[in-house]
Each structure stands twice: as C-alpha cells, then as structure tokens.
Amino acid sequence: MRLPSEIIKYPAEHFINRELSLLQFQRRVLAQAADPSVPLLERLRFICIVSSNLDEFFEIRVSGIKEQIRLGDRKGGIDGIAPTELLRQLSDEVHKLISEQYALLNEDILPALEKEGVSFLRRNLWTDAQRAWIREYFLREVMPVLTPIGLDPAHPFPRVLNKSLNFAVELDGLDAFGRDSGAAIVQAPRALPRVIRLPREICEQEYSFVFLSSVLHAHVGELFSGMQVLGCYQFRVTRNSDLFVDEEEVKDLRTTLKGELQQRHYGDAVRLEMADNCSEEMAAFLVEHFHLGRQDLYRTPGIVNLVRLMQVPDWVDRPDLKYQPFTPGMPKGLDKRQDIFDVVCKQDILLHHPFQSFAPVIDLLRTAADDPQVLAIKMTVYRTGTDSVLMEHLVRAAQKGKEVTVVLELMARFDEEANITWANRLEEVGAHVIYGVFGYKTHAKLLMVVRREEGGLRHYVHLGTGNYHPRTTRLYTDFGLLTSNPEIGEDVATVFKQLTGLGQATELRHLWQAPFTLQPKVVAAIRREAAIAREGRKARVIAKMNALLEPETIEALYEASQAGVEIDLIVRGPCALRPGVPGLSENIRVRSVIGRFLEHHRIFYFRADGEEQVYLSSADWMERNFFRRIEIAFPILDTRIKRRVIREGLRPYVADNAQAWEMQPNGCYRRKTARGATRAAQLKLLHDLAANS
C-alpha cells in the first residue's frame, strides 16, 4: 500500500487551503438564508445550519490547528499557509461571516417572520400579561433548577460544558455572609428549552416565542437576593471535541471510547461567544479564564446559540412558509407488491434518494429477517441514528437464528454513543459485532444477504453512497444499488472477510477499495483520459463529491486539463484545486450546488474512449478517504442504469443555472445566473422522480 501523499510535494500555489475553502461553503449556505425565493421558515433553518456547521468547524478543524501550534509544528499544509497565519485568517473570515449572519437574521428574517405572525418578543415589548406569565414560568420551571455560583476562593469557576448556555453576572453589594466577589456564573441546564412559546391568549400573533436567555435576564435578580445586578451576559464556549484513542494503549475499543466520550464535553476551549452588550471587563476576564486570545472572542447581537432555533419551523404550522412536501417515488419494477428477492434476482435496481424511497432497502432487510431461506446478513454501519428500523430488523434477524454480522464504526464522529448502544443491543441477541480495523474508519456502505436458492447460495447486495440512516435519506442526495450480480456479490463477500478476519488484501474483480486500490485507480483513470486526449480523441471527466483535497489526484487533474481533457467537477464543500488557471487548469470547471437537499452522492465518470465508465462511491477525493478509511467505489455495469446515473446524477448539475456556484481561481465562488430558461437540478429531479410531482 502506497504511503499518503503527505510525502509528495507540489507547488503551494496550486492549492487552496481546506479550512478557508470550507468557510466559502458556509457562505454559500448563508446565501440560501438570504435568498427571498426560499420559503421564509426554511431561510431560518439555513441560518441555523450555518451555526451548526461552524460549531463543528471549531470543535474539529480549528481545534486541530490550535493543537498543531501548541505542539510547535509550524509547517503549513499543501497550500503553504503556516498554522498561526491560517488561524488569523480563519478568525477574520468567521468574524465577517457571523456579522453577516446576525445582520441577516435581525434585519431581514425575524422582521419578515413577524409580519407572517411568527414573533420573537424582546423584553422591552412584553405586555403586562406576558410579563406575568413569564415570571410565573420562571419561578415554576426555571429557578428551581438553576444553581448560581458566586466566584470567590470557596467557589471557583464552575466547569463549563461544551456549547452550553451560561450567564456571567456582575453584582454589587454584600451577600448574607458578607461576601462581595462582584461576579457569579449561572449555568442553564440542558433540560431547559432555549425557546419558549407563549400562550395564544396573551399574544397578538399566532406564534409568539421568547428566548430562555431573555427570561433569565429579566429575573436574574431573583437569584441574588438583596444584591444589585449590574450586568448579565450570556456566553457559550466551544471546546475541542476530537477524540484521540492510542492504538498501542487500547485493549478494548468500546470501553476506551466510553471514557473518552465523557471527556469530550470538557476539552480545551477554542472559541468564546458572548452577547455584544457584555462589559469589556467581563469579556477580558472570561477570555483569560478560558486561556483564549482576543481573536477567539465572538460577540453576537442576539442569542449565542442560533442552532436552538432549528426546532421553530417544526413548531409552526405554516406550510406556505416551508418547502412543499413530497412523497418519494419508487423505481420501475418495485412499484408493485412483488417479492424483493424476485425483483432483484431479475434486474439491478437503482435508488435515487431523497427523490425515490429508501423503503426497498428496509424491505430487503425486513424480508431477509423473516425468510427461512436466508442464512446470513452482513452489514456495515457508520451512521444510523438512535432510532433505526434497519437496526431493529437486524436484531430480529439474529433472534430468529440468522447469522448476523455488523461491522459497526465506533469512531463515527458525534455518533459514537448511538453506535455503542446499538453494539450492546446486537450482542445481546447473538449478532457478531465487529469494530472494523483499528486506525481505519469503516465508511463503506455495504449490505449483503446470503440466501439459499435452487442451484446454490446467492448474494443479494445493496451498495450506497450514503449512510443507512432513514431520516437523512429524506434530506441527502444519494444513490443506492440493489443487485444480485454474482461477481459484485463475491467482491462484497471478500470485503467483509477482510473486515471480520485476517489475511492479505486480494484484488477485487469490480470494486475499487480504499486504502488499497481506490486512489491509484482514480488517478489511473484520469491519466488514461489524458493519454486519450493527447492522441487527439475526445476525453472527458465528470466527478461529483463532497470534497476534493488529495494532492496527487489534483495534480493528475491538472495534467489532464493541460492534455486537453474537458473536466467538470461538482464539489459541494471544500475544494483545494484551482480551476481556470491559464496553463494549469483552463479546461477544469468547478461548481457547487446548494439547495433544499444536502448534495451527498459521489459519482465518477470517465468517457474511456466511448465506453463511459461510471462509478458510485462512499468516498470523497481526500487523503482520509483514500488512505485512512475503508471505502468502496462500485461500477455501474447495467447500461440502462448507467444512463440513469448520467441523466440524473451528472447532467442536471452541470446544467444548473439556479442553485449552482462557480468556483473562481482564487477560491471564491460566483453564483450562476439564468440566461433563458431556469434549470435547477434538485427541482428537476423532484419533478421527474417524486411520486406526487
């Protein structure tokens, strides 16, 4: 296995920094919130998504850079930017982004919602009836669970949980014991709702809400009897949430991980968010206490955790302010109540989520659990959620005596706890639970059912580009393939054998597999297109993915561009490649499509002298996917389905002039504007594939 490309050096000017590119993606998401053509409550949801994305950005990406600086590593990445300089640039960009985000919320979205009967009431606008109700609510629901902590030698600064809501209170006067610390901390328990709906009878609007922060601000004096409150300021600390598990020290991964999860809430602080009315003295005190610099302080003109507004669209019954609901369609051949094994035995089935239903995958597992001819079920699980019908079917299959094997990735970031719970549940009913290969996350999406039929055993396989998570299949664009192709089945069986046992890697007939063959196969396919172009024949590469960062692959694309290969890249998130640079990448176009659904499928198209090779994959073109994960790319062998993938997964996105953004050589993006007919890929697919289109 070849070493990762960190040992290979290319000119730094060929690459855009990953973190700066990721912030460009957040700008494109924020643009959805600013778009008046997007339904109003969905615009609010996009505001929240930006905040959620930034939380993870600080928890993982910024914390990693800070750790690099702490360890004295001053070496920049492939883009050549040193860590200290990168941290400064990121701080500048995030400060600008947050300023624009709150301005959009306060000056546009909230006033527009108020006109539609959805209000977030400020304290100075509460009526007498509202004040009375809110006071009673505070005394009944809030005050009993609060523990104000005065800061003095006997009461040190309390431990502050990652991303929790807290209040710094400045006080004047002596308490019952004659103490005068001048400051206290009030922590809001996570059990308390951050947004509270007021009763309709005391409000002018149908939907009126107050923030928990406003409720506490109005009554904080109740917590400090006889003292004067000089100021009360909400704040929130974001901490390093990346888990570290030392392979040499671990004897039991699950037990070790449980211990690490408890510490995640108290990692090193990387960001401090504070209300913009906070006094300079208190801000300086908190910055010093959390060992942060001024660039790590983010003042917000509003609540410090906008993610908590994500629930509001679900509480407001206003369909006219949301995306129109749809019913996912069913592919031809599965629209009748036929046995799933009979259908897949006769033909491959392509599922295109969320436009088409995920139900056939659930049906395959449900039928397999009940079918006496099924001997074994094997499945990889990366993310599946705390409440998963798929996992329940696996449990039932094991209870019925099937040989159930689950390769469950315990290190799936922020899903570790749910996966540990499922591991316990599966083991209790006799299923084999494997944690993959230590040091390599199992990210491949594989489901295999072994069934006894006339003539011997047959493998029924599902391969996907997205997680086995029924909820996200309604939100993410992904492809899934159901097949009984015996050669594909043998490849999948070999991958499971690698994951659960020991032995040398073997060459697979059709699948490209990381960390062994995926990256070399991708690079070789790109270079084949370059060779074809040099011989004067038509050459083409179209690739769709979430991120493009791996240097050797990028250099292969540059070389192909210089050879005359036409290259279209549809990259949702960070992209280190610079498109459109004369003499380097003038034949490469990079676009990002941002819309109602999160673009998630990975599709690799190579013209291959007219043969048109198409692969679907769970992997982005990143070093981690190529070299530190177990990933699969699978070919579409059925000509009919291959045409569908091109027609649905590539052409609409290359042609999109409504929700597409074109990347410029400097890493910035420019939104496409329609000239003539408007073409939006996601809307077209909804129209073509959804059941109620």
Domains 5-321 and 340-510 are alike in CATH topology: no
User: For 403-426, how does the pLDDT look when each residue is reduced to its tens digit (9 = 90+)?
Assistant: 999 998 876 555 667 777 878 888
**What is the residue extent of each domain of the chain?**
5-321, 340-510, 513-689
Which is the CATH superfamily of the domain at 340-510?
A: Endonuclease Chain A (3.30.870.10)
pLDDT of residue 386: 76
Task: Please report which confidence band the pLDDT of residue 502 belongs to, taking 50, 70 and 90 as the band edges.
Answer: confident
Cα angle 30, 34, 38 (rounded to 5 degrees) comes to: 105
Reply yes or no on whether the pLDDT at 176 is more than 70.
no
C-alpha distances in angstroms, 265 versus 6, 192, 212, 269, 545? 32, 18, 22, 10, 32
Q: How far apart are CA 544 and CA 593, in angstroms?
A: 10
pLDDT of residue 243: 53
Structure tokens at 207: 């939907």
Spatial CA neighbour of 148 closest among 173, 168, 174, 177: 168
pLDDT of residue 251: 43
* Residue environment code for 389-412, b if the CB has 16+ CB neighbours within 10 A, otherwise e: ebbbbbbbbbeeebebbbbbbbbb
Q: Say what percent of the chain tops pLDDT 90.
A: 77
Which is the CATH superfamily of the domain at 513-689?
A: Endonuclease Chain A (3.30.870.10)
User: For 640-681, how does the pLDDT look when each residue is reduced to its tens digit (9 = 90+)?
Assistant: 999 999 999 999 999 999 999 999 999 999 999 878 889 999
pLDDT of residue 263: 53
User: For 253-305, how does the pLDDT look when each residue is reduced to its tens digit (9 = 90+)?
Assistant: 445 444 544 554 568 999 999 999 999 999 999 999 999 999 999 999 999 99
Structure tokens at 178: 């004659």
| Contact yes or no for 204/191 (Cβ under 8 A) | no
Residue-averaged pLDDT of the chain: 91
Reply yes or no on whether the pLDDT at 203 is more than 60.
yes
In 3-state terms the chain splits into helix, strand, coil percentages (rounded to 5) of 40, 25, 35
User: For 8-24, how does the pLDDT look when each residue is reduced to its tens digit (9 = 90+)?
Assistant: 578 999 999 999 999 99
Q: Per the residue annotation, which of 352, 353, 393, 443 is the catalytic one?
A: 443
What kind of fold does domain 5-321 have according to CATH?
polyphosphate kinase like (3.30.1840)
Question: Is 644 exposed, middle or buried (CB count within 10 Å of its CB: 0-12, 13-18, 19+)?
Answer: middle
Question: Is 34 exposed, middle or buried (CB count within 10 Å of its CB: 0-12, 13-18, 19+)?
Answer: middle
Can you list the positions of beta strands (E) in 435-576? 441-442, 445-453, 456-464, 476-483, 512-514, 540-545, 566-571
CA dihedral for 223, 229, 235, 239, sign (positive or negative):
negative
User: For 508-563, how does the pLDDT look when each residue is reduced to its tens digit (9 = 90+)?
Assistant: 999 999 999 999 999 999 999 999 999 999 999 999 999 999 999 999 999 999 99
CA dihedral for 280, 281, 285, 291, sign (positive or negative):
positive
Q: In what order do the strands lie in the sheet with 195-197?
A: 118-120, 207-211, 195-197
Is 443 an annotated catalytic residue?
A: yes
CA-based max dimension of the chain = 89
